[in-house]
Structure 1
């Protein structure tokens, strides 16, 4: 028997007569906890543009949460010689970095007067206190014990940051993998104080050169090198957009956390995470 058409004007009638009755077990908003997420933007100033500032940083923190999830799993996969799994995760991290790079384009629409209107309300809060960002830096090998201090007021977060600080980085595990595959690496790069920043080594570069001079024989290690290159390439772009956006909005004023602002950020542009993978390109 032919079904009756939906009643005209019925709010639950979709295209082609579909009844949009989803039940009451769990809604889209319930699953994503949107009441909590969308209720977390609480501007402190009367400035129209503070909502942009809050959303920019909150969404960045959400992407960083996913990035840490993927980086931790990728590092474990490299340590376990599960490179195809690691490649998928590292590719995802690079794509997340691209999202973070483009996010600066939105914040850059904030002009200096618009930022000046909200700056007094930020007090001494600073991006230096982003514990997730610090964990990302540490997991990628940019270790600096002084960067633990901004988190001392939150012992539970300090413990997270310190765990990343004391653990081998992604690159440390990559070098251990090269050694397990029979490539000659110096012992002081395989077991060392992981809290110290990595220092470039000619011997490590020679090991990578073996891989890059014969990709067919070392295909997965060659691909690992290129995944690391992609990741650092994206991270460099993020740092560059960070410094240019900050300079565009506040010039050379000091940061809210007391740093030199643009001066400090420019120094970070010189940090190289996987130095031998970049140097070998000159020597190939």
Structure 2
């Protein structure tokens, strides 16, 4: 072997050298930073069913993704309210990607067959994804306001306060319309100074404002981009909802949900909810 080109380290040498760097006794470890003991110890199956672990982890990981989604949505709304669109665009794009992740997560749960779910269902009592306060906050942040949706959280004052705050706050679309008004586009006051707890109602005047943006994208480029970010977001949200419906129907058919909802029938109604109606309508009128 040429003396100017030393031979590569032997595998045992590499292991020995790396091992010298692996003493974490005095430093924070990977598991410490991520609180893995708490996270990996949070799965407590109640039934003898093998598939309950899948069911638990599916919903726990979804809640973690929703936590990140809310983190990004809240920040994006604040940036739009402050006329800071570039960071808001990045955050909204990230939310759309999180929703894509959640869409694919249903593929894993869909591997559970009806008999497998039936084996664990009696152990779920009245617990239901319908009671997810994070999901409800996402719906409210996206503009789907409904006072009846506060009731499932009334038993927990702390969670109710969080959901109530999201219910009373301007939604993402509300702040987008207020931004258009600040930019000088004609916007009815009924849509910029309204009771934020009321369900959103589509407006021809709001559509005209968005049409001004879409007919002159060069003059309103950032607002045009905002409109498309909102379109991407609702598109991803629709897919998430649809995949939820098909997975539930595949696993339980048309049985009522464990939380007392109509199950598939309720979820199908949600498919008809349009969050940013004028942005979709204007495509016909361009």
Counterpart in 2 of 1:249?
251
Q: Offset of 1:8 from its aligned partner?
A: 7.8
1:88-167 equivalences under 5 Å are 88-167=90-169
CA distance in 2, matches of 1:127, 1:72: 22
CA distance in 1, matches of 2:185, 2:56: 48
Q: Offset of 1:22 from its aligned partner?
A: 4.0
Counterpart in 2 of 1:19?
20
CA distance in 2, matches of 1:123, 1:93: 32
CA distance in 1, matches of 2:274, 2:259: 25
Unaligned runs of 5+ in 1: none
Q: Secondary structure at the match of 1:245?
A: helix
Question: What is the alpha-carbon root mean square deviation over aligned residues?
Answer: 1.7
Counterpart selection for 1:283 from 279, 282, 285: 285
CA distance in 2, matches of 1:249, 1:166: 35
Unaligned runs of 5+ in 2: 1-7
Contact 1:101 1:238 in 2 (8 A): yes
Q: TM-score, normalised by structure 2?
A: 0.94
CA distance in 1, matches of 2:58, 2:70: 18
Matched, 1:230 2:259: no
CA distance in 2, matches of 1:113, 1:9: 50
Q: Secondary structure at the match of 1:253?
A: coil
Q: Note the alpha carbon deviations across 1:221-259, whole angstroms, 9 max, x for none.
A: 000000000000000000000000000000000000111
Contact 1:6 1:13 in 2 (8 A): no
Q: Offset of 1:21 from its aligned partner?
A: 1.9
Moved over 3 A (4+): 5-12, 17-20
- The count of corresponding residues between Structure 1 and Structure 2 is 279
CA distance in 2, matches of 1:128, 1:82: 34
Q: Secondary structure at the match of 2:16?
A: coil
Contact 1:13 1:19 in 2 (8 A): yes
CA distance in 2, matches of 1:22, 1:220: 50
Contact 1:87 1:224 in 2 (8 A): yes
CA distance in 2, matches of 1:11, 1:46: 45
Matched, 1:197 2:222: no
Could you say if the C-alpha distance between residues 36 and 279 of structure 1 is closer, same or farther in structure 2, counting changes exceeding 3 Å? same
